């Protein structure tokens, strides 16, 4: 049986990805707010910040590794 090799995946340079943290901090500065996105550790006193929920959220473990999303 011939040895089949998987095609090599092209590596994408890191520069091709969007820096979301940098983008949000730029928006914060443009709005006249401190550029503090992802700098808080489990606590943020800025309750009026539009990014607060995304900034201090905890990473969540996958709940359904099987991918079964059918409704009964």
- Identify the pLDDT of residue 37: 93
Share of the chain above pLDDT 90, in %: 31
Contact 20, 32 (CB under 8 A): no
| pLDDT at residue 18 in the model | 84
**CA separation for the pair 44, 53 (Å, rounded):** 10
How far apart are the C-alpha atoms of 15 and 72, rounded to whole Å?
44
Of the chain, the end-to-end C-alpha distance in Å amounts to 45
Model-level pTM? 0.56
pLDDT digits (tens, 9 = 90+) for 42-54: 888 889 999 988 8
pLDDT tens digit sequence for 5-30: 766 777 767 677 889 999 999 999 99
- Count other Cβ atoms within 10 Å, centred on residue 64: 7
């Amino acid at each position: 049986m011939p040895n089949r090799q998987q095609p090599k995946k092209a590596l994408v340079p890191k520069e091709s990805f969007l820096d979301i943290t940098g983008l949000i901090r730029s928006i914060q500065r443009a709005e006249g707010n401190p550029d503090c996105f992802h700098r808080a550790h489990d606590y943020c006193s800025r309750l009026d910040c539009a990014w607060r929920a995304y900034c201090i959220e905890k990473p969540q473990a996958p709940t359904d590794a099987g991918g079964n999303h059918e409704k009964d």
